[in-house]
Structure 1
Amino acid sequence: MNFHIYFLSTPIILKTIKETLDKKNSQLVEFHFPYLHELPPHYHTTKDLPPHLNSTLIHAFQMASSKFPSIIETLKPNLIIYDGFQPWVATMASSCNIHAIMFCVTSTSNLAYFYHQFLYGSSSLPSFPFSSIYLHDYEIKKLDIQPIKPRDEKAFGYMFLKSFEQSHNIVLLNTCREIEGKYIDYVSTIGKKELIPIGPLIREAIIGEEEDWGTIQSWLDKKDQLSCVYVSFGSETFLSKQEIEEIAKGLELSKVNFIWTIKFPKGVKTTIEEMVPQGFLESTKGKGMVVEGWAPQSLILNHSSIGGFITHCRWNSILESMSFGIPIIAMPINHDQPLNSRLVEELGIGVEILRGENGKIMKEEVAKGIRKVVEEK
């Protein structure tokens, strides 16, 4: 069929996909926020956004929502597909007699857990039927994963689950039945919607597109097959100095080769040298490579020397790791990551690094997790 697709988002987000689209059948439509002094245009995306501005970004989307009806009146789409943190999209689309369906970008096991909680609250009956998917007490208390509170319309979780409820009969999922079949069936039953898995959706990196790949590839080429771990916490999760130091000590203790990408929020003036333990870069020279900022993750994971992936367990990273057959060393930090980490262990595709009191990262457990995956193959 001859579809024409409009991609509506902020200019900075559209810029990242502009060159990858088929211009014949698609068109970019810019969605502009009202001026907010604390949220300049380069912050109109979750990528590299300082954590304290997350709620401001959501508020900016809500402030700009009044422009949406005029946009859809101009474009006259037959169907709208929206992400889970803009529940107003479905409401406004419905008022214009247009069907809107949600695209869920996180795992369906996460959706199942939190939608169950959303429906049944603190009631002990019925209990969540999948015992392998759970939260530790410290995760509920410390890691920004609070129980969903009805009518708390500013909470991320509430908005996400309202988006699910308002989706017109269907919800699209970035997963497949082979990975999460039982969770798809459960959410479909309690949510009374048809859930359609269309994943896993993974963008392939093309050699030549990635500027830094040559240096990284040359380093990896010198290492034995499956002898290295890749360490990355994505572009939206930032670690404290204490956490970075403990991971660094764990890497050194493991004596395993590693490549580690470290990112800092935009506007934060610090260096890798200031964040890692004194002498770490010198003592691991040759055995480790530390990259500040961004690195071509899919190219790295697809390299023959990579034998494990230390990740915070955002869903896209898990899907990428699975697609390349790389076992996961799970170190969840917040949001959907802890439940994704439990799924990793349930599926048998990796191990989760044990934590200390209140979820403290411990160098000994980091080293143990690395050795278990890389050396005990």
Structure 2
Amino acid sequence: MDANQQPRSSILMLPWLPHVHVSSYLELAKKFSDKNFDVYFCSTPVTLKQVRESLANQTKTYSIQLVDLHLPNDFPELPPHYHTTKDLPPNLMNTLKAALDGAKPAFGEILKTLKPNLLIYDFIQPWAPAEADNHDIKSVMFYPGCAASIAYMVFYSRNNPTVEYPFPALDFPEIQRQKIGQFMHMHTANGLTNIGRFSECAERSEKMVLINTLSDIEAKHIDFLSGLLGKEMVPVGPLVEEPTNNNNDSVVMDWLNKKHPSSVVYASFGTEYFLSMEEMEELAYGLELSGVSFIWVVRFHGDDFRGKHSIDEVLPEGFLKRVGDRGMVLDGWVPQAKILQHPNTGGFLSNCVWNSTVEGMINGVPIIAMPMKVDQPMNAKLVVEVGVGIEVPRVDGKFKREELTRVIEEVVKQEKGKEVRMKATELSHKLKERGDMDINFAVDKLVQLLNE
């Protein structure tokens, strides 16, 4: 039975703290709100500040209530502005996980007060479904990444790196398999490993696991992951950020409007990854030598950039003058959704963080894949397998301007990139035709669960 024919049920959503997780959870919260659920969105105050601003800039209103989760004061090195992964020093990541684990009693009080019908939780906090069970509240995990990447990581957390992966197009050399297995068995906080947290969260999820993907691009990987976890994987994608109303958009969009169709490369690596000085320089020269127009979101942080405060200081000398109006370089917030939807955007140079990858796919923008860490290399291989992008190869483990130039030109300008451009357009049409089919199926599954 459809949720719209039911009395309104309430869902409490608890994401892990990186922006990509919070963003995907918020988009799913909007979908649930549209399907006649009352939604509570629970996170730390510093995270909810950003969520509140995002909701205020939306073109419509949603039945989403924000709920503060206060972390314990047991960690003096972790003041409230560090209760997020944004700008968090890397050495404090496990401290943040420990602090979030320590919020279990406070979260229990939230459950006791709100009495939601269902908890949707992330893969990092196995204590959340345990606490929900203590209050007789059903719970389901939502994993905001792709099936292929997490399936690969789970597989090599359980198997020797000499074992061949069943999908060769997504496989890596043995030494990288070994590193992935080591990463999954790495201890985080409170004695829990990465795979331990994920596995317990998946095991506690009632009957299914929601995942931000689509069967059109990952059917075999969804099935494979279901077999690994012993749970039905229910796709709820694509979950992409809606365009927002922002008065600062006009400068970027006016510039983009003046360019030719499918001629501009949009280069962005998200809000929480920073290029090294060497990577920054190689990318700058790659864009310059390609001769294409581009929008480049530059974010810099760390020892490489100590004492540098402006874009001009971190880019090669004379770069901005040489590229002139052919390039727009920005260091703040940009209207990514509007840029990727624009017909003049012809390529997305990305580290392949999953939500941005899906956003490129849904808008038919070919992806220039420049993966950096964790699941991004697997995501990049999936992009290539689906046929909607080309990965920039590393030379001796590093990105080089010559390869960047070659791939940018191939994707945007050359005849040999025509098939990638066509497949990106075809996939976009296919995904848009599906509309809300996947989320409707997921809602039906959740309604059945709540009625049991």
Partner Cα separation in structure 1 for residue 162 and residue 177 of structure 2 = 17
Q: Are residues 1:26 and 2:71 paired?
A: no
Q: TM-score, normalised by structure 2?
A: 0.76
Q: What is the match of residue 220 of structure 2?
A: 182
1:223 to 256, 259, 264: 259
Partner Cα separation in structure 1 for residue 125 and residue 251 of structure 2 = 40
Q: Is the 8 A contact 1:104 1:173 kept in 2?
A: yes
2:135 to 86, 90, 96: 96
* Residue 222 of structure 1, CA deviation: 1.9
Q: Is the 8 A contact 1:264 1:293 kept in 2?
A: no
Output the aligned Cα RMSD: 2.5
1:54-92: CA deviations, max 9, x gaps?
Answer: 323222211222322222122222211001111221222
CA change 1:145–1:313 in 2 (3 A) is: farther
Q: Are residues 1:61 and 2:100 paired?
A: yes
Secondary structure of the corresponding residue to residue 409 of structure 2: helix
CA change 1:137–1:258 in 2 (3 A) is: farther
* Residue 360 of structure 1, CA deviation: 0.6
Q: Is the 8 A contact 1:310 1:328 kept in 2?
A: yes
Q: Is the 8 A contact 1:104 1:172 kept in 2?
A: yes
CA change 1:24–1:366 in 2 (3 A) is: closer
Partner Cα separation in structure 2 for residue 247 and residue 348 of structure 1 = 23
CA change 1:96–1:123 in 2 (3 A) is: farther
Identity level (%): 42
2:389 to 345, 350, 374: 350
* Residue 233 of structure 1, CA deviation: 0.1
Q: What is the match of residue 168 of structure 1?
A: 206
Partner Cα separation in structure 1 for residue 148 and residue 225 of structure 2 = 9
Q: What is the match of residue 287 of structure 2?
A: 251
* Residue 128 of structure 1, CA deviation: 2.5
2:165 to 123, 128, 136: 128
2:46 to 9, 12, 27: 12
* Residue 150 of structure 1, CA deviation: 7.9
Q: Is the 8 A contact 2:183 2:194 kept in 1?
A: no
1:138-149 matches, cutoff 5 A: 146-149=182-185
Which amino acid in structure 1 is aligned with residue 386 of structure 2? L
Q: What is the match of residue 348 of structure 2?
A: 309
Which amino acid in structure 2 is aligned with residue 9 of structure 1? S
* Residue 117 of structure 1, CA deviation: 2.1
Partner Cα separation in structure 2 for residue 59 and residue 41 of structure 1 = 14
* Residue 140 of structure 1, CA deviation: 6.3
Report the count of equivalent residues. Answer: 371
Which amino acid in structure 2 is aligned with residue 164 of structure 1? A
Secondary structure of the corresponding residue to residue 65 of structure 2: strand
Structure 2 residue runs of 5 or longer lacking an equivalent are 1-5, 10-37, 419-452
CA change 1:49–1:263 in 2 (3 A) is: farther
1:374 to 396, 409, 412: 412
CA change 1:259–1:50 in 2 (3 A) is: farther
Secondary structure of the corresponding residue to residue 285 of structure 1: helix
170-179 or 267-276, which deviates more: 267-276
Which amino acid in structure 2 is aligned with residue 305 of structure 1? N
CA change 1:374–1:135 in 2 (3 A) is: same
Q: Are residues 1:274 and 2:313 paired?
A: yes
Q: Is the 8 A contact 2:267 2:296 kept in 1?
A: yes
* Residue 137 of structure 1, CA deviation: 6.6
1:91-139: CA deviations, max 9, x gaps?
Answer: 2222333222110100011121112223x331655x4311111235786
* Residue 175 of structure 1, CA deviation: 0.9
1:9-61: CA deviations, max 9, x gaps?
Answer: 11122223336388784322100112333333222222343444332322221
Structure 1 residue runs of 5 or longer lacking an equivalent are none
Q: Is the 8 A contact 1:306 1:326 kept in 2?
A: yes
Partner Cα separation in structure 2 for residue 49 and residue 137 of structure 1 = 32
* Residue 158 of structure 1, CA deviation: 3.9
CA change 1:139–1:262 in 2 (3 A) is: farther
Q: What is the match of residue 250 of structure 2?
A: 214
Which amino acid in structure 2 is aligned with residue 30 of structure 1? D
Partner Cα separation in structure 2 for residue 301 and residue 316 of structure 1 = 13
* Residue 300 of structure 1, CA deviation: 0.9
Partner Cα separation in structure 1 for residue 328 and residue 375 of structure 2 = 28
